[in-house]
């Protein structure tokens, strides 16, 4: 099956290759017109010279020479007329060739632009197809599938570890641990009190505690007195 891209590229080359040949043809047509123009000028000059010779021969009473020049003049006029007719056609051909070239150049530019746009569109389509293939392969398997599988495996592993932690915590005797911790605190407090006794600070702390205890006692007594008075009044 033929490749449209290769055909379009070949068409672009062929269109560009036609330009030199067209320019050569136009040059040939123009050269022919220039040659005919020079012939016309030559015949016009010849007619002018022959006419002068005829007049000179007549003035010299040389009718025989004048007759010969008259025949030459007649032939020159025929050639001039023929050359002018050919020059007219040559000029028309040159003008037509220029118009054909202009039309060809416009059509060439249009076709080349159209072909290049089609080629660029084809390149974009090929690139998009490659991207689509890559995306499809990514979505259908490969990295996407592996990624999802690994995430699920990590989540499962995390859930198992969390479950093991909960089971381990449930199996530990937390009450015993708290009792042991409190016992350590009491032992530490006893050690500190021993240090205070050795340093003579233990009695002072006891007096402070005694004062704190006596003050609430007085308050309680006053409260009891107030209650007794209220009962007596009643």
Tokens of 101: 């070239």
What single DSSP character describes residue 62? -
Average pLDDT over residues 3-22: 84
Residues 171-189 have pLDDT tens digits of 656 667 678 778 888 888 8
C-alpha distance across the termini of the chain, in Å:
126
At residue 61, does pLDDT exceed 60? yes
57 Cβ partners below 8 Å, 6+ apart?
63, 65, 66, 69
Residues 110-145 have pLDDT tens digits of 888 888 888 888 888 888 888 887 777 655 555 556
At residue 53, does pLDDT exceed 80? yes
Residue with the larger pLDDT of the pair 232 and 67: 67
Residues 148-173 have pLDDT tens digits of 777 788 888 888 877 877 776 666 56
Cα atoms found within 13 Å of the Cα of residue 174, Cβ hemisphere only: 4
Residues 88-113 have pLDDT tens digits of 999 999 999 999 889 988 888 888 88
What single DSSP character describes residue 172? S
Instruction: Please give the Cα distance from 52 to 36 (Å, whole number).
Output: 24
What's the CATH code, domain 4-139?
1.10.287
């Amino acid at each position: 099956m033929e490749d449209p891209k290769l055909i379009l590229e070949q068409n672009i080359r062929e269109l560009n290759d036609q330009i030199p040949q067209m320019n050569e043809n136009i040059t040939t047509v123009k050269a022919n017109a220039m040659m005919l123009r020079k012939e016309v000028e030559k015949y016009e000059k010849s007619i002018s010279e022959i006419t002068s010779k005829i007049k000179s021969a007549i003035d010299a009473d040389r009718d025989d020479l004048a007759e010969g020049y008259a025949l030459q003049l007649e032939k020159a006029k025929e050639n001039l007329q023929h050359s002018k007719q050919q020059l007219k056609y040559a000029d028309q051909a040159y003008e037509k060739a220029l118009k054909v070239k202009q039309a060809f150049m416009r059509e060439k530019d249009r076709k080349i632009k159209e072909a290049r746009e089609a080629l660029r569109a084809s390149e974009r389509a090929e690139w998009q197809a490659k991207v689509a293939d890559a995306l499809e392969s990514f979505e259908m398997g490969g990295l996407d599938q592996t990624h999802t599988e690994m995430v699920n495996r990590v989540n499962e592993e995390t859930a198992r570890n969390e479950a093991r932690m909960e089971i381990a915590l449930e199996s530990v005797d937390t009450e015993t641990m708290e009792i042991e911790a409190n016992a350590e605190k009491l032992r530490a407090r006893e050690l500190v009190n021993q240090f205070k006794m050795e340093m003579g600070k233990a009695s002072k702390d006891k007096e402070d505690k005694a004062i704190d205890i006596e003050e609430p006692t007085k308050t309680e007594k006053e409260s009891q007195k107030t209650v007794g008075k209220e009962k007596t009044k009643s």
